[in-house]
């Protein structure tokens, strides 16, 4: 029967389900995070682009995050709602949600593209595009072609979690990997072979995004758990009001990066100029470059963390919808355990191998102050990364329980109130070190809130929901018998 396609989410061992859903999601997010880094590697090694091209890439990057944030608002929200609908055997609501999400992602992509093309000149200076004429020219070129691909980029990113909710996490992963592979292959051809410069880097990225979007669109015609008909593909305001709030946490997780980068870049520029060492003209760019590198390392870590948590949304949502709180609780325990393990590994790397990490980004060609500041930045900025991992897991888990507003409030406090606030305040007393302190201080305070959330969530999941006795006996126990962590 069609409506029973996803019923395995209620029966299979928790560890196996977490591996099946979380691993592809982690890989998809890692690939998405590496898109920008791959471009920068090839741009940096092109002698006719170099630092100007990398600066242009950095200027445009926050603007692509705005598009990504809108896409995950639609996709993650729809994913959580569809999973709950399938668990409650409400296929008609799931189909209407997916159809309206498809239309909304296409419309949003076109609107953002039009806005970027119209307001290109005032937007680029907001993120440092006018640092010099060459950087501004490169930024305009890169931004123009990246903007043309935004509708495809947003559609692919929005459909990815929806495809996972249909029980096909592997296909969602493959479609993202295929696009990344195209980007990696075409980057050197366009940049070094054709010498297309920033246009080449952008076109390679857009062609990868088009492939991902095309594969995602093709999947809609062969969905497993939901049958889409013509009536699905219209706006359903009553359903949109229910699933869009479920994606707000994911939206804020992305959009807050823009605010964080703006705050950090502003403070780095201000306090580098008055620093005894980096106040020298030849060394002034070092803090900005180093903090950007540390943030990219953290972005890789947090992509793994978010991927594991977001990958569990369909499983949790289905079991909550089916009344299996015992399985949702077991999954929450495993998720927190895995997130702590990721945090421990990240902390070990950041504290023990900062010299090797910064060496990947050209430390051998830079001043000794570059390496010294980088070592201090890695060890200070990321010293509470374990707490950061647990915070993300706890906040995202609330989405899968259908509690978007609590999740949103907690994310806002962490990312905006703490994250941006301390980045602006602490440098007043500690100079450049204050920017480094802002991350661990924010994570410690947010962890206190997370503990409250975790305790409350366990209490809620300890109260069994009413469900048919036959289903409760037929389903497996919370323990899957797996001794090792599946992540």
**Residue 159, CA distances (Å) to 33, 162, 250, 401 in order:** 17, 5, 14, 21
Q: Is 486 left (phi over 0), alpha (psi -120 to 50) or beta?
A: alpha
Residue-wise pLDDT tens digits, 196-249: 988 998 999 999 999 999 999 999 888 877 777 777 777 877 788 888 887 777
At residue 368, does pLDDT exceed 70?
yes
Q: Taking the mean position of all CA atoms in its chain, how far away is CA 47?
A: 31
Average pLDDT over residues 308-329: 75
Q: Which residues make Cβ contacts (< 8 Å) with residue 63, sequence separation at least 6?
A: 116, 123, 127, 143
Which residue, 176, 182, 392, is CA-closest to 304? Answer: 392
- The share of the chain scoring above pLDDT 90, in percent, equals 22
Phi-psi region of 236 (alpha: psi -120 to 50; beta: other; left: phi over 0): beta
* Interatomic CA distance for residues 245 and 266, integer angstroms: 31
The fraction of the chain above a pLDDT of 70, given in percent, is: 83
Reply yes or no on whether the pLDDT at 346 is more than 60: yes
Q: Is the pLDDT of residue 63 over 80?
A: yes
Mean of the per-residue pLDDT values of the chain: 79
What CA–CA distance (Å, rounded) separates 347 from 370?
21
Return all residues near 134 (Cβ < 8 A) that are at least 6 apart.
52
Q: Which residues contact 389 (CB under 8 A, 6 or more apart)?
A: 301, 302, 305, 339, 340, 342, 343, 346
Which residue in this structure is represented by tokens 């990219």?
296
Predicted local distance difference test score (pLDDT) of residue 67? 92
Q: What is the DSSP string of 387-419?
A: HHHHHHHHHHHHHHTT-HHHHHHHHHIIIIIII
**0.75 surpassed by pTM:** no
Check residue 52 and give its pLDDT. Answer: 64
Q: Report the pLDDT averaged over residues 176-193.
A: 90
Angle at which helices 50-87 and 150-165 cross, to 10°: 30
* pLDDT tens string 255-294: 877 777 777 777 877 787 788 887 776 666 677 767 777 8
CA angle centred on 126, ends 440 and 197, rounded to 5°: 100
Placement of tokens 């409650």 in the chain: 88
- Helices (H) and strands (E) counted in the chain, each on its own, are 21, 0
Is the pLDDT at 100 greater than 80? The verdict is: yes
194 vs 478: CA distance, rounded Å: 57
Going by pLDDT thresholds of 50, 70 and 90, the confidence category of residue 362 is: low
Task: Please give the residue that has the higher pLDDT: either 471 or 137.
Answer: 137
- Who wins on pLDDT, 447 or 36? 447
Quick one: pLDDT band at residue 137, thresholds 50, 70, 90?
A: confident
CB 334 within 8 A of CB 486: yes
Q: What is the pLDDT of residues 145-161, one digit of tens each?
A: 999 999 999 999 899 88
* Token code pair at residue 435: 């920017």
What is d(CA 211, CA 172) in angstroms, rounded to the nearest whole number? 12
Report whether pLDDT(466) > 50: no
Per-residue pLDDT, averaged over 421-445, amounts to 91
What is the reported pLDDT for 51?
A: 54
261: closest CA among 35, 115, 64? 64
- Count of all residues that appear for the chain in the document: 487
Q: What is the pLDDT of residue 355?
A: 87
The predicted pLDDT at position 139 comes to: 82
d(CA 294, CA 278): 18
Distance from C-alpha of 235 to C-alpha of 393, rounded to nearest angstrom: 31
The pLDDT-based confidence of 70 (bands split at 50, 70, 90) is very high
Which residue did the predictor score with more confidence, 328 or 305?
Answer: 305
Q: Please compute the mean of the pLDDT values over residues 405-424 and round it to a whole number.
A: 82
Token pair 């191998």: residue: 353
Low-confidence winner among 108-122, 150-164, 266-280, 433-447 (lowest mean pLDDT): 266-280
Q: Give SS3 for 478.
A: coil
Could you tell me if 43 and 54 are in contact, meaning their C-beta atoms sit under 8 angstroms apart?
yes
* Residue 130 binned pLDDT confidence (cut-offs 50, 70, 90): low
> Does residue 139 or residue 155 have the better pLDDT?
155
Q: Which residues of 168-185 are buried (b: 16+ CB within 10 A; e: fewer)?
A: bbebbbbbbbbbbebbbe
- Can you tell me the distance from the alpha carbon of 383 to that of 352, in angstroms, rounded to the nearest whole number? 11
In this prediction, residues 30-34 reach a mean pLDDT of 75
Rounded to 5 degrees, φ, ψ at 279 are: -70, -15
- Residue 473 pLDDT more than 60? no
Domain ranges of the chain: 14-243, 249-466
Give, in degrees to the nearest 5, the angle at Cα 262 between 25 and 344: 45
More confident residue, 103 or 238: 103
Q: What would the DSSP string read from start to end of 356-372? A: HHHHTTTGGGS-HHHHH
In b/e form, how buried is each residue of 34-66, taking b as 16+ CB within 10 angstroms?
bbbebbbbbbeebeebeebbbbbbbbbbbbbbb
Residue 481 CB coordination number (10 Å): 10
pLDDT at 55 over 70: no
- CA-to-CA separations, 399 to 156, 160, 265, 378, 395, in angstroms, rounded: 21, 17, 31, 31, 7
Query: 415-426, pLDDT tens digit by residue?
Result: 788 888 998 899
Confidence band for 50, pLDDT divided at 50, 70 and 90: low
Q: What is the arithmetic mean of pLDDT over 400-421?
A: 79
Q: Which residue has the higher pLDDT, 187 or 248?
A: 187
């Amino acid at each position: 029967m069609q409506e029973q396609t996803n019923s395995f989410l209620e029966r299979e061992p928790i560890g196996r389900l977490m591996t099946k859903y979380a691993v592809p999601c982690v890989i998809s997010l890692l690939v998405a995070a590496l898109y920008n880094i791959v471009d920068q590697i090839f741009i940096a090694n092109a002698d006719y682009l170099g630092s100007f091209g990398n600066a242009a890439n950095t200027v445009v990057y926050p603007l692509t995050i705005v598009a990504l944030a809108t896409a995950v608002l639609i996709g993650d929200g729809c994913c959580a709602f569809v999973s709950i609908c399938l668990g409650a055997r409400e296929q008609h609501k799931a189909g209407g949600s997916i159809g309206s999400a498809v239309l909304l992602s296409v419309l949003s992509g076109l609107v953002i593209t039009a806005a970027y093309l119209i307001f290109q000149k005032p937007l680029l200076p907001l993120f440092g595009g006018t640092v010099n004429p060459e950087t501004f020219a490169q930024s305009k070129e890169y931004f123009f072609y990246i903007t043309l691909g935004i509708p495809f980029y947003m559609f692919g990113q929005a459909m990815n979690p929806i495809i996972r909710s249909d029980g096909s996490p592997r296909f969602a992963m493959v479609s993202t990997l295929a696009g990344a592979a195209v980007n990696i292959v075409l980057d050197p051809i366009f940049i070094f072979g054709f010498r297309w410069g920033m246009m080449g880097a952008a076109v390679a990225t857009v062609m990868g995004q088009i492939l991902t979007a095309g594969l995602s669109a093709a999947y809609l015609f062969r969905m497993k758990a939901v049958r889409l008909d013509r009536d699905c593909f219209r706006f359903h305001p009553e359903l949109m009001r229910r699933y869009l709030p479920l994606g707000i946490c994911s939206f804020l997780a992305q959009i807050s990066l823009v605010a964080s980068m703006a705050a950090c870049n502003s403070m780095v520029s201000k306090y580098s100029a008055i620093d005894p060492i980096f106040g020298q003209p030849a060394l002034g760019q070092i803090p900005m470059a180093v903090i950007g590198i540390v943030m990219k390392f953290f972005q890789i870590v947090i992509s793994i963390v978010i991927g594991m948590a977001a990958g569990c949304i369909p499983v949790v949502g289905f079991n909550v919808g089916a009344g299996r709180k015992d399985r949702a609780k077991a999954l929450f325990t495993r998720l927190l355990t895995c997130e702590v393990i990721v945090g421990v590994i990240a902390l070990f790397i950041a504290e023990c191998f900062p010299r090797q990490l910064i060496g990947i980004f050209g430390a051998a060609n830079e001043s000794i102050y570059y390496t010294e500041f980088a070592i201090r930045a890695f060890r200070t900025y990321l010293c509470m990364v374990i707490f950061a991992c647990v915070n993300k897991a706890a906040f995202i888990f609330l989405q899968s329980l259908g509690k978007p507003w609590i999740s949103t409030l907690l994310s806002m406090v962490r990312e905006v109130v703490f994250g941006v606030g301390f980045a602006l305040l602490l440098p007043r007393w500690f100079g450049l070190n204050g920017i480094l302190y802002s991350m661990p201080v924010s994570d410690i305070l947010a962890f206190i809130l997370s503990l409250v959330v975790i305790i409350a969530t366990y209490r809620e999941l300890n109260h069994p929901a009413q469900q048919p006795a036959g289903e409760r006996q037929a389903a497996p126990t919370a323990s899957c018998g797996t001794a090792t962590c599946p992540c």
